[in-house]
Structure 1
Amino acid sequence: METTKRKLRVTGTAVFDGDLAQKGYALNKMCFSFNDAANRQAFAADEAGYCQRYGLNAEQYAAVRERNVLGLLAAGGNVYYLAKFAGILGLDVQDLGALQTGMSKEAFKQMLLEAGK
Structure 2
Amino acid sequence: MSDNRDRWGIPGTYVFDLQLSRRGYAINKMCHSLRLAENRDLYLADEDAYMTRFGLDAEQKQAVRERNWLRLTQLGGNLFFFLKLGATLGHGLYPIGAQMRGESFEDFMKTRNVPGAT
Into which bin does the TM-score normalised by the smaller protein fall? 0.7 to 0.9
C-alpha root-mean-square deviation of aligned residues, in Å?
A: 2.0
User: Residue in 2 aligned with 1:63?
Assistant: 63
Distance apart, 1:112 and its partner CA: 2.4
TM-score of the pair, normalised by structure 2: 0.79
Q: Secondary structure at the match of 2:112?
A: helix
What residue is the counterpart of 1:18 in the other structure?
18
Q: How far is the alpha carbon of 1:8 from its aligned partner? A: 5.8
Deviation at 1:56, TM superposition (A): 0.8
Mean Cα displacement is larger for which, 41-50 or 65-74?
Answer: 65-74
Provide structure 2 residue ranges, at least 5 long, that are not aligned to the other structure. Answer: 1-7
Structure 1's unaligned 5+ residue stretches are 1-6
Measure, in 1, the Cα distance between the counterparts of 2:47 and 2:104.
29
Q: Who is 2:92 aligned against?
A: 92
Q: Which amino acid aligns with 1:10?
A: P
Of 72-81 and 60-69, more deviation after overlay is shown by 60-69
Aligned residues: 108
Matching of residues 1-117 of structure 1 within 5 Å = 7=8, 9-11=10-12, 13-113=13-113
1:57 deviation in Å?
1.4
Where 2:113 maps in the other structure, the secondary structure is: helix
Q: With the length of structure 1 as denominator, give the TM-score of the two structures.
A: 0.80
Amino acid at match of 1:98: A
The structure with the largest alpha-carbon Rg is 1
1:81 is displaced (CA, Å) by 0.8
Find the aligned partners of 2:9 and 2:98 in 1 and give their Cα distance: 19
Q: Which runs of at least 4 in structure 1 moved beyond 3 Å after TM superposition?
A: none
